[in-house]
């Protein structure tokens, strides 16, 4: 009888250490397509994985429409949405090694290829004495500057997890909302389920794709995307108003630790 | 020694002003627990001031410089939370080992639904405006710039995800349609409560999810306390220099709970068409929506004094003096009933100057005519639209709209044709009433029924007079004829009714079925009189009535098979046509089956083919059946064909795309082939004094066209090279002065462009394109033209933007001294107070090119024209927001 009880306890403990949190994200960089996705964060006792909810692989799409306005100006609008494969971006956060294994794509000359890199950056949070309630949870504000953006996060110590969306983690409570001050990056929790039965099988370190050094990956990615952006600008039709603008690094991360070297 | 000691104790004090709290966390079996959250709070306060997590071995270290009474909390997902009270003193270290009891933390299906800055629903994103205000916003435009995903371009165009939005609504009401800039540039940001972005937007809420839509629209909701304010702006612009040039406009906006109002006015004499503002407000862009097959026909004009304008930008040849004012209003009668009205008035005076030398090469001999033409016109136009929308229920909408438009145009000309001087005058008073009724019922979530009814009445009377008789050879003249008159009128009445059923199947295929009937009654009347002898020459009078009754059924189905999307569509129609002319009556009752099949095949990521084939039978157009000659220009008569048998054609289209705009190499190639089995060709008699043109029925006309654009992006130059190549050819027949002959016309065009994408403030776009056209009958005519341009943009500061556009037009067939024309325009804009006040300097036609000559050819001759242009002017403009 005693054995039975013990067995039951162990099972329930291993369940308790898993869970699933759904985050919605709204990303937009300099007027590109608003990328709003739902993402799952699965966690076990020592690791988590953050991945988009994908129904299928999404193609990289170009959408062009030409309209004539009242002044007989031709407006050609080109809209590009870089696609995903059926897995999408993954962020595997291992508490033990304190690294995040990231799976992200590079779109180079019409080919989408995924790579893996280990990100060792740790986010240094500053806690503030500001609070707000989110669906009944008392949340405290924390701020950080991470790779070129200033973020505000609202976490609750009432849910004793140090995980969060994307690469965010390391607060003494679950992050329910985090956004950057330009409004270009926004994550918020939608749904929490603890425990979650299948989490153990989901939280696996991604391993199939080509592995690159973090810096190597970023450099390769920058090169590919600046080629695409410049090519598009250079392909604007005649009469499309030429307005010079700076090409900024687009994405959640705007600068890297090694940039100042 | 003492000094040493002092230093030591100082540094010691400094180090010890921080307290170190450390220890280990273990479970009840004394096993260390890793990754436990450890955090410190002041006693009875919420705020965490320091935190850490435990290591693999369960140890933790926490450093703080705070003193006083604190709580140290240990929390982990699988253990009971434990809080220890701790009294911290300066510089002391604390060791605290704790044991946590196992406990299941569970949160079953918690849904976070509190009011967030961004709320995402399916196809809708709602932004709470206050969360995106930074405090320096003036207009709605500034607020929108802060919102993720929305970009506002320099000219005020709003894009969501790179795509221009359809409209900006206020509390669900669309007052501006495409002219939304007026709203977003002038409305105060502080009044906005929420910004809602509708993706996959359908203009009709009931068609949402049924029709394919990639449109985006914005809706702004207002704060409650702001519904009685007035907003607006002034944009004066005045010429620098001797000439009196101006371009000024003003607008005013107001929103009240039940009534939304917008007024706009513009005065200019810089060649701008003020009616453009109207078409912006009226363009509801229904092009690619499900819905009505209603025709937007209006009664045509017989006489058009200006038959073509040169391709150098319409405002360069338009000597004008325009004043316009418009008002629009949406009034909410009850929550379910809305009334939208638009009123528009426009006055314009236009001068237009042209000199032509036309050389004809005809089977019966060659000759040249000359013309020196000056036109002066005065137009008053008015437009009113009322639209009543009744939201009967969640699934039903009833809509009525009525449009009334009328013009009054008086044109006087002075014309020297060959050696004859004459004066013409033309009075035109067109008037159109267009009434529509629409009923939409969403039968199921994936199925909608649309019923449309419409009635259009359009009347276009024209009275023309010329004080000189130019047709000595055509009519017997005993020198008593002192001029000609023509009174002409087309009156069109059309009414129709159609119903469509749209079903979006679960596999996303779309079923459409339309059925309908329409009736058109068209009345032509023209009376041509020789002044002086009061004679009406036979064959130059028209009095015919053309009636068309049409009943149709049109099913279509779209399905997707892997990478191939197929659309099949068949239009079945039974027509009953009746033409009633003075001498005879004609009847026809054809049955049409017009199939169309479209294939969109994405072979892989870099290859895509889009193709369609269609076969079409149609009735001759309303204008092509008139039986007598009618004067269409001072020396040109035209006549239709008394035949109402259908015309048949086939079209094949193929488009191939290699690469995408994202790849280094990107090419787009199109091919089109049109075969007209029957067509209406022309049979003309051309003499030095006049032209008689009539339509004849001919067989077999071919048209082929091939166009390709290739792009290569050169990374080392940060520029794109574009090469254009095109060819089209048409084979048909016509009859000139009694000779029926084959005509073959072709155009070959080629060119290249280079456009930079530099990161710096300076960018350029340069290009050139050649057009070689050729007409071949028994003789060959050739014409080569070239257009080259260079655009430069320089933006040294964020507030200052300078742009210079220049172009060169070259015509090989004009004489050497007159075959090249240069144009240069400049615009500089400087922002003085952000969003409140900006100044700009606009320079048009800087090289002061006063005339522009061009050349056109066709199978009968070469036509050289010279146009007078608006001279150089500089305009200083301000933009002031009230």
Q: Which pLDDT value is given to residue B377?
A: 93
Residue B740 has pLDDT above 70, yes or no: yes
Query: What burial class does residue B22 get, using C-beta atoms within 10 Å of its C-beta: 0-12 exposed, 13-18 middle, 19+ buried?
Result: middle
pLDDT > 90? residue A231: no
Q: How is residue A60 annotated by DSSP?
A: P
Alpha-carbon span B425 to B463, nearest angstrom: 8
Mean pLDDT on B8-34: 70
pLDDT, tens digit (0-9, with 9 covering 90-100), for A20-50? 899 988 877 654 556 778 889 998 888 899 9
Of the candidates B344, B484, B355, B329, the residue with the CA atom closest to the CA atom of residue B414: B355
Residues of B in contact with A122 (CB under 8 A): none
Q: Looking at the predicted structure, is the pLDDT value of residue B226 above 60?
A: yes
Report ipTM (2 d.p.).
0.78
Per-residue pLDDT tens digits for A135-169: 888 889 999 999 888 999 999 988 888 889 999 98
Q: Per DSSP, what are the bridge partners of residue B424?
A: B413, B466
Mean pLDDT score of chain B, rounded to an integer?
Answer: 85
The answer to whether the CB of B440 falls within 8 A of the CB of B206 is: yes
* Contact criterion met (CB < 8 Å) for A227 and B715: yes
Answer whether B876 touches A (CB < 8 Å). no
DSSP three-state, residue B623: helix
- Which DSSP helix (H) or strand (E) runs through B412? strand B396-417
Q: How many domains does chain A have?
A: 1
B743/B243: higher pLDDT: B743
Render pLDDT for A246-260 as a digit per residue (tens, 0 to 9). 444 457 888 888 776
Largest CA distance in chain A: 86
Q: Which residues of B touch A37 (CB under 8 A)?
A: none
Residue B726 CA: distances (Å) to CA of B47, B672, B675, B747: 71, 12, 19, 8
Q: Pairing between strand B636-639 and B691-714?
A: parallel
Asked whether B612 and B582 are in contact (CB, 8 A), the reply is no
B365 has a chain A CB within 8 A of its CB: no
Is B106 close to A16, i.e. CB distance below 8 A? yes
pLDDT digits over B852-879, tens only?
A: 999 999 999 999 999 999 999 999 999 8
Q: Predicted confidence band at B705 (pLDDT cuts at 50, 70, 90)?
A: very high
pLDDT tier for residue B644 given thresholds of 50, 70 and 90: confident
β strands within B687-779, DSSP E: 691-714, 719-736, 739-756, 762-776
Confidence at B711, pLDDT banded by 50, 70, 90:
confident
Helix (H, G, I), strand (E, B) or coil at B96: coil
Q: Please tell me the predicted confidence (pLDDT) of residue B112.
A: 64
Within a domain: A40: yes
Q: What is the pLDDT of residues B367-388, one digit of tens each?
A: 999 999 999 999 999 989 899 9
Of B613, B570, B612, nearest in space to B591 by CA: B570
Give dist(CA A179, CA B332) in Å, integer.
39
Confidence (pLDDT) at B806: 93
Substitution target from B50, B124, B148 for chain A, most A beta carbons within 10 A: B148
What pLDDT does A247 receive?
45
Chain A interface disruption, residue of B36, B118, B143, B806, most A CBs within 10 A: B118
Q: pLDDT, tens digit, for every residue of B518-541?
A: 999 999 899 999 888 878 888 899
Q: Is residue A128 part of a domain?
A: no
The domains found in chain B, sorted by start residue, are 15-100 (2.60.40.10), 118-226 (2.170.130.10)
| Residue of A66, A81, A43, A48 whose CA lies nearest to A228 | A81
DSSP tag of B246: B
Q: B450 versus A182: which is more confidently predicted?
A: B450
The alpha-carbon gap from A192 to the nearest alpha carbon of chain B, in Å, equals 5
Contacts of A95 in chain B (CB under 8 A): 34-35, 53
Does residue B77 sit at the A interface (CB-CB below 8 Å)? Answer: yes
The residue with greater pLDDT, B590 or A201, is B590
Beta carbons of B35 and B47 less than 8 angstroms apart = no
Q: Is residue A172 part of a domain?
A: no
- pLDDT of B631 above 60: yes
Rounded CA-CA distance B826/B848 in Å is 13
Q: What is the rounded CA–CA span in Å between residue B52 and residue B70? A: 15
Nearest chain B Cα distance for residue A5, angstroms: 14
Substitution target from B82, B110, B142, B181 for chain A, most A beta carbons within 10 A: B110
In angstroms, the CA B165 to CA B161 distance is 9
The answer to whether B494 and B500 are in contact (CB under 8 A) is no
Q: Which pLDDT does position B350 carry in this prediction?
A: 92
Q: B383-433 pLDDT, tens per residue?
A: 898 999 999 988 899 999 898 999 999 999 999 999 889 999 999 999 999
In 3D space, the residue among A217, A146, A61, A142 whose CA is nearest the CA of residue B657 turns out to be A61
What is the band of A122 on the pLDDT scale with cuts at 50, 70, 90? confident
Task: Locate the chain A residue with the closest alpha carbon to B143.
Answer: A183
What pLDDT score was predicted for residue B528?
93
Nearest one of B111, B27, B39, B102 to A17, comparing CA atoms: B102
Nearest residue of B to residue A185 by CA position? B148
Q: Are B232 and B251 in contact (CB under 8 A)?
A: yes
List the one residue out of B121, B23, B35 whose CA is nearest residue B76.
B35
- Is the pLDDT score of A65 beyond 90? no
Q: Is the pLDDT of residue B199 over 50?
A: yes
8 Å CB contact of B765 and A189: no
How, if at all, do strands A35-43 and A47-52 pair? antiparallel
Residue B12: DSSP 8-state? H
The per-residue pLDDT for range A184-213, each reduced to its tens digit, is 788 988 888 888 888 888 888 888 888 899
Q: If DSSP codes are grouped into helix, strand and coil, which group holds residue B738? A: coil
Nearest Cα of chain A lies from the Cα of B239 at a distance, in angstroms, of: 21
Mean pLDDT of B559-574: 90
pLDDT at B290 over 70: no
Is the CB of B718 less than 8 angstroms away from the CB of A234? yes
A101-117 confidence digits (pLDDT tens): 999 888 777 678 889 99
CA–CA min distance A211, chain B (Å): 24
Residue B9 has pLDDT above 50, yes or no: no
Q: Which residue has the higher pLDDT, B665 or B461?
A: B461
Indicate the range of A223-237, B47-61, B224-238 predicted with least confidence. A223-237
- Output B664 or B589, whichever has higher pLDDT: B589
- Residue in chain B nearest A23 by alpha carbon: B112
What is the rounded average pLDDT of the residues B217-245? Answer: 81
Q: Check pLDDT > 70 for residue A238.
A: no
pLDDT at residue B227, as a whole number? 63
| Banded model confidence at residue B360, pLDDT cuts 50, 70, 90 | very high
What is the pLDDT averaged over residues B217-240?
81
CB A172 to CB B760 under 8 A? no
Please check whether residue A124 touches B, CB under 8 A: no
pLDDT for residue B752: 93
pLDDT classification of A71: cutoffs 50, 70, 90: very low
CA B91 → CA B15, B18, B21, B61, B555, distances in Å? Answer: 7, 5, 11, 15, 86
- Which of A230-244, B52-66, B722-736 has the least mean pLDDT? A230-244
- Model confidence at B113, pLDDT cuts 50, 70, 90, reads low
pLDDT for B162? 65
Rg (CA), chain A: 21
Q: Which residue of A244, A250, A251 is the best one to mutate when testing the B interface, meaning the one whose CB has the most B CBs within 10 A?
A: A244
pLDDT tens, B296-321?
Answer: 678 888 898 887 788 887 788 889 99
Residue A77 — pLDDT band, cuts 50, 70, 90?
A: very low
Q: Is the pLDDT of residue B699 over 80?
A: yes
- Distant-in-sequence, close-in-space partners of A215: CB < 8 Å, separation ≥ 6: A256, A258
- On whether residue A181 sits in a domain, the answer given is no
Residue A72 has pLDDT above 50, yes or no: no
C-alpha B575/C-alpha B619 separation (Å) is 9
For A107, the closest of B106, B662, B757 (CB atoms) is B662
Residues 250-289 of B with CB under 8 A from A: 276-277, 279-280, 283
| Short-list B777, B755, B758, B757, CA closest to B766 | B755
Q: Is the pLDDT of residue B293 over 80?
A: no
pLDDT the model gives residue B374 = 94
Percent over 70 (pLDDT), chain B: 92
Model confidence at A80, pLDDT cuts 50, 70, 90, reads: low
Cβ pairs bridging A and B (under 8 Å):
264
The dihedral over CA atoms of B141, B142, B148, B150, expressed in degrees to the nearest 10, equals 20
From chain B, pick out residues whose CB is under 8 angstroms from the CB of A242: 755, 763-765, 791-793, 803
- pLDDT for B288 beyond 50: no
* Burial letters B617-637, b for 16+ CB under 10 A, else e: bebbebbbbbbbbbbbbbbbb
Q: What pLDDT, on the 0 to 100 scale, is given for residue B422? A: 92
pLDDT exceeds 70 at position B291: no
Distance CA B406, CA B344 (A): 11
Is pLDDT of B552 > 50?
yes
Could you tell me if B164 lies within 8 Å of chain A, comparing CB atoms? Answer: yes
Mean pLDDT on A77-87: 64
Contacts of A231 in chain B (CB under 8 A): 661-664, 711, 713, 720, 757
Domain ranges, residue A46: 11-121+192-260
């Amino acid at each position: 009888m005693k054995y039975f009880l013990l067995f039951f306890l162990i099972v329930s403990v291993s369940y308790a250490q898993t869970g699933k949190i759904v985050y919605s994200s709204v990303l937009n960089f300099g007027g590109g397509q608003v990328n709003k996705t739902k993402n799952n964060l699965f966690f076990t006792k020592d690791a988590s994985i953050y991945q988009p909810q994908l129904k299928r692989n999404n193609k990289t799409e170009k959408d062009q429409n030409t309209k004539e306005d009242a002044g007989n100006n031709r407006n050609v609008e080109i809209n590009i949405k870089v696609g995903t494969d059926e897995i999408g971006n993954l962020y595997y956060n291992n508490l033990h090694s304190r690294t995040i294994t990231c799976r992200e794509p590079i779109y180079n000359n019409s080919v989408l290829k995924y790579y893996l890199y280990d990100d060792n950056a740790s986010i240094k949070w500053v806690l503030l004495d500001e609070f707000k309630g989110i669906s009944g949870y008392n949340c405290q504000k924390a701020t950080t500057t991470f790779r070129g953006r200033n973020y505000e996060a609202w976490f609750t110590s009432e849910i004793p997890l140090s995980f969060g969306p994307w690469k965010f983690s390391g607060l003494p409570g679950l992050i329910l909302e985090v956004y950057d001050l330009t409004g270009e990056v926004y994550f918020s929790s939608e749904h929490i389920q603890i425990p979650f039965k299948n989490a153990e099988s989901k939280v696996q370190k991604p391993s199939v794709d080509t592995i690159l050094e973090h810096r190597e990956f970023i450099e390769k990615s920058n090169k590919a995307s600046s080629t695409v952006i410049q090519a598009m600008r250079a392909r604007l039709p005649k009469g499309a108003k030429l307005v010079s603008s700076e090409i900024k690094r687009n994405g959640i991360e705007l600068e890297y630790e090694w940039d100042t070297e | 020694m003492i000094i040493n000691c002092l230093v030591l104790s100082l540094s010691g004090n400094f180090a010890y002003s921080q307290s170190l709290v450390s220890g280990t966390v273990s479970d009840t079996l004394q096993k260390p627990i890793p990754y436990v959250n450890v955090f410190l709070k002041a006693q009875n306060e919420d705020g965490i001031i320091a935190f850490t997590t435990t290591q693999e071995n369960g140890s933790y270290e926490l450093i703080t410089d705070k003193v006083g009474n604190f709580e140290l909390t240990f929390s982990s997902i699988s253990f009971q939370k434990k809080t220890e009270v701790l009294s911290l003193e300066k510089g002391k270290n604390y060791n605290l080992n704790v044991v946590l009891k196992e406990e299941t933390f569970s949160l079953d299906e918690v849904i976070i639904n509190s009011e967030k800055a961004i709320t995402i629903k399916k196809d809708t994103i709602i932004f709470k405006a206050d969360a995106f205000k930074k405090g320096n916003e003036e207009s709605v435009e500034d607020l929108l710039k802060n919102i993720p995903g929305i970009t506002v371009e320099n000219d005020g165009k709003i894009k969501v995800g790179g795509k221009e939005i359809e409209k900006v609504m206020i509390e669900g009401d669309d007052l501006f349609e495409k002219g939304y800039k007026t709203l977003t540039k002038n409305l105060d940001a502080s009044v906005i409560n929420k910004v809602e972005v509708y993706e996959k937007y359908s203009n009709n809420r009931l068609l949402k999810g049924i029709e394919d839509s990639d449109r985006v629209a914005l809706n702004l909701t207002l704060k409650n306390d702001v519904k009685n304010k007035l907003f607006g702006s002034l944009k004066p612009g005045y010429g620098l220099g001797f000439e009196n040039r101006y371009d000024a406009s003003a607008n005013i906006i107001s929103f009240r709970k039940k009534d939304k109002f917008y007024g706009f006015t513009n005065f200019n004499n810089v060649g701008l068409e003020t009616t453009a503002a109207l078409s912006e407000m009226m363009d509801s862009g229904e092009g690619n929506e499900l819905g009505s097959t209603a025709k937007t026909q209006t009664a045509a004009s017989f006489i058009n004094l200006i038959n073509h304008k040169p391709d150098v930008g319409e405002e360069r040849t338009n000597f004008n003096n325009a004043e316009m004012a418009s008002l629009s209003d949406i009034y909410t009668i009850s929550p379910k009933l809305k009334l939208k009205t638009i009123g528009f008035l426009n006055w314009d005076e236009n001068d237009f100057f042209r000199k032509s030398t036309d050389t004809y090469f005809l089977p019966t001999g060659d000759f040249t005519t000359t013309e020196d033409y000056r036109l002066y016109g005065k137009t008053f136009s008015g437009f009113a639209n009322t639209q009543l929308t009744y939201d009967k229920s969640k699934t039903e909408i009833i809509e009525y709209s009525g449009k009334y438009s009328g013009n009054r145009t008086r044109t006087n000309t002075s014309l020297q044709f060959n050696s004859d001087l004459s004066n013409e005058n033309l009075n035109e008073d067109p008037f159109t009433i267009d009434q529509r009724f629409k009923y939409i019922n969403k039968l199921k979530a994936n199925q909608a029924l649309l019923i449309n009814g419409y009635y259009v009445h359009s009347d276009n009377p024209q009275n023309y007079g010329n004080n000189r008789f130019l047709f000595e050879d055509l009519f017997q003249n005993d020198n008593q004829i002192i001029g000609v008159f023509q009174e002409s009128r087309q009156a069109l009445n059309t009414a129709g009714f159609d119903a469509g059923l749209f079903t979006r199947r679960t596999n996303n295929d779309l079923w459409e079925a339309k059925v309908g009937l329409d009736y058109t009654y068209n009345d032509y009347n023209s009376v041509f009189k020789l002044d002086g002898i009061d004679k009406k020459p036979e064959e130059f009078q028209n009095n015919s009535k053309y009636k068309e009754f049409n009943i149709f059924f049109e099913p279509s189905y779209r399905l997707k098979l892997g990478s191939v999307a197929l659309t099949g569509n068949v239009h079945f129609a039974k027509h009953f046509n009746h033409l009633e002319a003075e001498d005879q009556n004609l009847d026809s009752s054809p049955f049409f089956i017009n199939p169309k099949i479209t294939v969109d095949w994405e072979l892989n990521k870099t290859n895509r083919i889009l193709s369609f084939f269609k076969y079409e039978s149609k009735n001759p157009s309303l204008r092509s059946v008139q039986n007598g000659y009618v004067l269409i220009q001072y020396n040109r008569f035209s006549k239709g064909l008394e035949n109402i048998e259908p015309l048949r054609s086939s079209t094949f289209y193929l488009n191939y795309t290699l690469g995408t705009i994202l790849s280094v190499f990107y090419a787009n190639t199109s091919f089109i082939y049109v075969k007209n089995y029957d067509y209406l060709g022309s049979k003309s008699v051309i003499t030095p004094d006049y032209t008689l043109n009539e339509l004849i029925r001919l067989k077999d006309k071919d048209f082929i066209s091939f166009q390709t654009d290739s792009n290569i992006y050169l990374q080392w130059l940060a520029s794109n090279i574009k090469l254009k190549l095109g060819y089209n050819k048409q084979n048909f027949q016509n009859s000139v002065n009694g000779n029926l002959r084959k005509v073959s016309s072709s155009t070959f065009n080629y060119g290249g462009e280079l456009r930079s994408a530099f990161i710096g403030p300076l960018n350029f776009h340069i290009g050139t394109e050649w057009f070689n056209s050729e007409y071949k009958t028994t003789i060959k005519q050739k014409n080569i033209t070239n257009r080259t341009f260079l655009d430069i943009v320089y933006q040294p500061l964020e507030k200052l933007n300078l742009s210079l556009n220049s172009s060169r037009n070259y015509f090989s067939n004009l004489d050497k001294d007159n075959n090249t024309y240069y144009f240069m325009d400049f615009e500089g804009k400087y922002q003085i107070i952000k969003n409140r006040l900006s100044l700009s300097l606009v320079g048009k036609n800087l090289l002061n090119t006063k005339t522009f000559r061009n050349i056109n050819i066709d199978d009968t001759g070469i036509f050289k024209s010279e146009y007078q242009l608006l001279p150089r002017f500089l305009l200083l403009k301000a933009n002031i927001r009230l």
